């Protein structure tokens, strides 16, 4: 899987999860449980990972939804 987004904003993560789920793109949110380790300070960012063969489709989807600024550069 390839990193698509890295953020510590739970609203952005939730929105991206909904977009990807609705588009049928398989994804994984890495580091979700790290907040317990860091003490819930929101310092550590979560990563949204997608399958490599759907990366371009996922980037286009996020751009069309207005969250292109959240996309990680390759």
Domains and CATH numbers, the chain: 2-70 (3.30.70.790)
Task: Note the pLDDT of residue 74.
Answer: 55
pLDDT at 33: 73
**pLDDT tens, per residue, the chain with 74 residues:** 999 999 988 899 999 999 999 999 999 999 877 655 655 566 788 999 999 999 999 999 999 999 988 888 75
**Residues in CB range of 10: below 8 A, 6 or more apart:** none
What SS3 class is residue 4?
strand
In this predicted structure, what is the pLDDT of residue 32?
Answer: 77
Please state, in angstroms and rounded to a whole number, the distance separating the CA atoms of residues 15 and 37.
Answer: 24
């Amino acid at each position: 899987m390839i990193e698509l987004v890295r953020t510590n904003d739970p609203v952005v993560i939730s929105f991206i999860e909904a977009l990807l789920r609705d588009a049928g793109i398989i994804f994984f949110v890495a580091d979700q449980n790290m907040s317990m380790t860091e003490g819930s300070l929101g310092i550590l960012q979560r990563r949204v990972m997608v399958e490599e063969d759907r990366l371009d489709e996922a980037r286009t989807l996020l751009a069309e939804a207005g969250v292109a600024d959240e996309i990680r550069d390759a």
